[in-house]
């Protein structure tokens, strides 16, 4: 029993220190030093958030570049015990968790591949365009994926393909110092730049 | 695989290597009670804590008293965390108005964070209030890591002392580990995370109107503070369901590198601290060398398997250039995803930046196998060090059998009692992992939780109990683990893996501390050279790994062959 007092007192002290003082003080410091990042790197238009630069959002319209497929879901409004597909639900991140020999996975990718072929995609298909991300909120696509979409977007908007290809090149984030990171394109920023182009 | 990929992997490991020695020596200074640059400020807080808690810092404890203090602290921590989770609806900082956590899930989660496992049967953003995250879960991120460091210090002192009856004072080690090591590092790392884009706010969620005019609710919260200690303390319990694959927890390549660095550095530095404290820094580097060989081997297998990709998807017309990207994020790339996968499981961290369930069979085999080796590569904060000492003791014993001499480690004779206790500890993992997996594999209610069928389904079960017993916390997350069966049995497996392991190890430490130190003679087997490193690697792979081989053959290995043959389930 001699251990009881130190155990209880230290638990309380450390809960106060590491559970309240530490996160709240950091929140205070962050709001001054890094206010934009601390609040989730929101992108505002006319003062209203249209999304976060870090979080992918769903684009279904042909006039926009489209993100990767997303495996996120949401409670079914008809029956809360069930879930329905809700791509890019940023209140419930999730991957598909389908394994490499899952029939569901292979069938899903096959259907998506056939759809891309029907839409006129040529050659090897960019893998990120047919697979779901780990979080279901991946904000990025590969350059290969974006270039494959240029034809569709150009037709839908009546824009010149070469201009769109140049836009994709310009929006690609490369490796820092040619070493760190993976080249990628943020879909939301690309689509904002696309709207600005018109 | 690309040269750039290997360069990035090398860069991160290099950054760890640079930091290991200064941090290791600093920790040795702190835990030997000598003055450091932090003493003028932290010393006051430290002494204040002892006064309030009624701790006499100079009064040392036997192995049994030390262990009982740890168990009392853990029991109280469990009770308080369970209460916070159950009562979160009535507590502050609950902007989304979440209900209390149900009993079986609260039991599982409290055990999970207490044992430094951080298995998540819940989705953070849909279950936990900010109060539960900050004052409940993140507190135990600190305390379970500090408890691990304390236990490792007790085991270290078994070798640094001779003819000793005591192993230090648990309360002192716990307090110093938190105040001098974890908290200062967490503050620095958290600020760096915020700079890279990790949010730190008390806002619950933001409603955005997307470019297409739809409503997107974006969950927010105090993430950076939690992310920092989650990695440094090798906890791994994420703020979000998607853990460190979520773009808020891990926004870009820089945050990803910082995540890997911070989970690896403290555990690796503890090995150098061990060497320093036992008066043989080379011993620390020898342990680190053995760990490095296996860990880098693991990284290579994941990297090769994932870039080779899934031949069934290539056959459908997918460009194999990107490798297997189902369940991965574009911004990290295959190289740093592979490094993350191996490091998070070689350590007992369990944070994930890709969904392990969707890795290729061999890519998923590696994380499971690395956990089954006993979480010693270099393992959880503290727990990895004492696990590695157990393997070192077994290695000198096996070497002793081969040449017919009494084995010694760091001048301490290793005799029957120590070996029995070490084996007792080592056998707890197969008991918990294989025992529970075997039962679950024939239980219809457990099998109904599987997301994948065929051998991959067995892998999901095996991974769950491996992760729980190894106190890792990562998952083949397709498994619907939030059921009374899994919440209860993984909870028990976590307790076995933590306390069932460490109690015999502490008894072994007590027995070793009491021994005299013998001077090294001509016939002493040097334990800081290449021969020992090779032997240790062999013992970890054979004693730690071989017992799981039959189960692994039925899961990932057979799945690999079936994938090559184009079989689906």
Q: Hey, are the CB atoms on B207 and A38 less than 8 Å from each other?
A: no
Residue A153: pLDDT band with limits 50, 70, 90: very high
Rounded distance, CA B143 to CA B80, Å?
A: 13
A124 Cβ under 8 Å from any chain B Cβ:
yes
pLDDT for B61 equals 97
Q: Given strand A140-141, what is the order of strands in its sheet? A: A140-141, A184-186, A172-173
B355 Cβ under 8 Å from any chain A Cβ:
yes
Q: Hey, are the CB atoms on B357 and A90 less than 8 Å from each other?
A: no
Residue A198: pLDDT band with limits 50, 70, 90: confident
pLDDT for B543 equals 87
| A2 has a pLDDT exceeding 90 | no
| B358 has a pLDDT exceeding 80 | yes
pLDDT averaged over every residue in chain B: 95
pLDDT, tens digit (0-9, with 9 covering 90-100), for A15-62: 999 999 999 999 999 999 999 999 999 999 999 999 999 999 999 999
pLDDT for A1 equals 61
pLDDT, tens digit (0-9, with 9 covering 90-100), for B148-173: 999 999 999 999 999 999 999 999 99
Distance from CA of A110 to the nearest CA of B (A): 6
CA angle A134, B436, B428 (to 5 degrees): 100
Structure tokens at B56: 């006499």
The stretch B555-562 carries a mean pLDDT of 97
Please give the interface size between A and B, counted as residue pairs whose CB atoms are below 8 Å apart: 379
pLDDT, tens digit (0-9, with 9 covering 90-100), for A104-120: 999 999 999 999 999 98
Q: Which residue of A has its CA nearest to B248?
A: A54
Which residues does residue B222 pair with via DSSP β-bridges, in sequence order? B200
Residue B519: pLDDT band with limits 50, 70, 90: confident
**Which chain B residues in 224-253 lie under 8 Å from chain A, judged by CB atoms?**
224-226, 229, 240-242, 245-248, 251-253
The stretch A7-16 carries a mean pLDDT of 97
Rounded distance, CA A74 to CA A69, Å?
A: 15
A32 Cβ under 8 Å from any chain B Cβ:
no
| Better-predicted residue by pLDDT, B521 or B352 | B352
Rounded distance, CA B98 to CA B95, Å?
A: 8
As a residue count, chain A comes to 198
| Residue from the list A30, A54, A105 with its beta carbon closest to the beta carbon of B194 | A30
Q: Hey, are the CB atoms on A57 and B211 less than 8 Å from each other?
A: yes
* Choice among A4-13, A71-80, B462-471 with the minimum mean pLDDT: A71-80
pLDDT for B520 equals 84
Reported ipTM:
0.96
Q: Hey, are the CB atoms on B456 and A130 less than 8 Å from each other?
A: no
* Choice among A154-163, B246-255, B380-389, B400-409 with the minimum mean pLDDT: B400-409
As a whole-number percent, the residues of chain B with pLDDT over 70 amount to 100
Give A131's contacts in chain B (Cβ within 8 Å). Answer: 313, 325-328
| B314 has a pLDDT exceeding 80 | yes
- The residue among B420, B475, B482, B478 whose CA lies nearest residue B451 is B478
| Residue from the list A90, A93, A142 with its beta carbon closest to the beta carbon of B322 | A142
Whole-structure pTM value: 0.97
| Better-predicted residue by pLDDT, A81 or B145 | B145
| B113 has a pLDDT exceeding 80 | yes
Residue B422: pLDDT band with limits 50, 70, 90: very high
**Which chain A residues in 147-166 lie under 8 Å from chain B, judged by CB atoms?**
none
Rounded distance, CA B66 to CA B73, Å?
A: 11
Residue B123: pLDDT band with limits 50, 70, 90: confident
| Residue from the list B123, B218, B331 with its beta carbon closest to the beta carbon of A182 | B331
pLDDT for B522 equals 80
Q: Hey, are the CB atoms on B143 and A14 less than 8 Å from each other?
A: yes
Distance from CA of B549 to the nearest CA of A (A): 21
pLDDT, tens digit (0-9, with 9 covering 90-100), for B210-240: 999 999 999 999 999 999 999 999 999 889 9
Residue B196: pLDDT band with limits 50, 70, 90: very high
| B267 has a pLDDT exceeding 90 | yes
| Residue from the list A6, A24, A101 with its beta carbon closest to the beta carbon of B171 | A6
| Residue from the list B76, B242, B455 with its beta carbon closest to the beta carbon of A136 | B242
Are A117 and B317 in contact by the 8 Å Cβ rule? The answer is yes
| A88 has a pLDDT exceeding 80 | yes
Rounded distance, CA B555 to CA B466, Å?
A: 13
| A148 has a pLDDT exceeding 70 | yes
B123 Cβ under 8 Å from any chain A Cβ:
yes
């Amino acid at each position: 029993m001699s251990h009881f007092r130190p155990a209880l007192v230290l638990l309380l002290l450390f809960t106060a220190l590491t559970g309240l003082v530490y996160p709240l003080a950091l929140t205070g410091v962050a709001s001054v030093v890094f206010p934009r990042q601390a609040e989730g790197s929101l992108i505002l238009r006319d003062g209203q958030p249209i999304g976060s630069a870090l979080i992918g959002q769903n684009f279904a319209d042909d006039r926009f570049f489209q993100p990767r497929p997303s495996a996120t879901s949401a409670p079914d409004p008809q029956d809360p015990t069930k879930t329905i597909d809700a791509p890019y639900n940023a209140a419930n991140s999730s991957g598909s968790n389908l394994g490499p020999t899952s029939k569901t996975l292979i069938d899903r990718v096959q259907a998506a591949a056939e759809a891309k072929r029907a839409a006129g995609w040529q050659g090897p298909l960019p893998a990120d365009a047919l697979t779901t991300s780990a979080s279901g909120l991946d904000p990025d696509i590969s350059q290969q994926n974006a270039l494959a979409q240029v034809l569709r977007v150009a037709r839908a908007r009546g824009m010149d393909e070469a201009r769109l290809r140049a836009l994709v090149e310009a929006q690609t984030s490369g490796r820092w110092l040619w070493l760190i990171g993976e080249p990628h394109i943020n879909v939301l920023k690309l689509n904002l730049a696309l709207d600005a182009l018109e | 695989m690309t040269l750039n990929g290997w360069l990035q992997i090398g860069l991160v490991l290099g950054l760890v290597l640079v930091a290991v020695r200064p941090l290791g020596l600093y920790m040795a200074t702190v835990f030997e009670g000598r003055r450091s640059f932090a003493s003028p400020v932290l010393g006051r807080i430290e002494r204040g804590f002892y006064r309030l808690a009624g701790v006499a810092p100079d009064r040392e404890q036997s192995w049994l008293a030390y262990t009982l203090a740890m168990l009392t602290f853990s029991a109280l921590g469990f009770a308080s965390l369970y209460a916070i989770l159950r009562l979160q609806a009535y507590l502050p900082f609950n902007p989304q108005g979440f209900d209390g956590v149900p009993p079986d899930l609260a039991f599982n989660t409290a055990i999970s964070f207490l044992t430094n496992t951080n298995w998540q049967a819940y989705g953070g953003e849909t279950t936990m209030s900010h109060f539960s995250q900050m004052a409940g879960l993140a507190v135990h991120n600190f305390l379970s890591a500090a408890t691990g460091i304390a236990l490792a210090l007790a085991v270290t002192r078994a070798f640094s002392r001779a003819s000793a009856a005591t192993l230090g004072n648990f309360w002192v080690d716990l307090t110093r580990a938190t105040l001098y090591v974890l908290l200062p590092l967490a503050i620095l790392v958290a600020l760096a995370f915020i700079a890279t884009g990790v949010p730190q706010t008390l806002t619950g969620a933001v409603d955005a109107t997307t470019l297409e005019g739809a409503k997107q609710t974006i969950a927010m919260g105090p993430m950076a503070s939690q992310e920092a200690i989650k990695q440094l303390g090798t906890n791994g319990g994420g703020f979000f369901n998607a853990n460190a694959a979520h773009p808020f927890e891990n926004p870009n390549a820089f945050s990803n590198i910082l995540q890997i660095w911070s989970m690896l550095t403290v555990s690796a530095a503890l090995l150098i601290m061990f060497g320093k404290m036992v008066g043989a820094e080379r011993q620390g580097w020898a342990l680190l060398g053995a760990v490095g060989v296996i860990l880098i081997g693991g990284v290579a297998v994941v990297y090769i398997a994932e870039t080779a990709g899934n031949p069934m998807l290539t056959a459908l017309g997918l460009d194999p250039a990107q490798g297997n990207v189902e369940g991965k994020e574009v911004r990290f790339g295959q190289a740093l995803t592979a490094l993350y996968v191996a490091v998070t499981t070689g350590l007992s961290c369990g944070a994930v930046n890709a969904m392990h369930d969707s890795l290729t069979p061999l890519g998923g085999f590696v994380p499971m196998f690395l956990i089954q080796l006993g979480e010693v590569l270099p393992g959880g904060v503290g727990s990895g060090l004492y696990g590695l000492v157990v393997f070192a003791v077994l290695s000198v014993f096996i070497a002793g059998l081969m040449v017919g001499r009494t084995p010694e480690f760091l001048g301490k004779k290793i005799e029957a009692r120590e070996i029995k206790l070490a084996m007792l500890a080592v056998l707890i993992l197969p008991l918990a992992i294989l025992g529970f997996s075997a039962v679950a594999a024939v239980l219809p209610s457990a099998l109904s939780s599987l997301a994948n069928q065929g051998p991959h389904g067995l892998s999901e079960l095996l991974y769950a109990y491996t992760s729980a017993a190894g106190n890792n916390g990562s998952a083949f997350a397709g498994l619907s683990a939030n059921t009374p069966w899994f919440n209860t049995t993984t909870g028990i497996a976590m307790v076995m893996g933590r306390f069932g392991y460490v109690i015999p190890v502490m008894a072994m430490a007590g027995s070793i501390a009491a021994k005299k130190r013998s001077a090294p003679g001509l016939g002493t087997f040097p334990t800081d050279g290449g021969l020992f490193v090779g032997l240790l690697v062999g013992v970890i792979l054979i004693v730690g790994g071989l017992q799981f081989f039959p189960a692994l053959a039925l899961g990932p290995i057979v799945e690999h062959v079936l994938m090559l043959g184009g079989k689906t389930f």
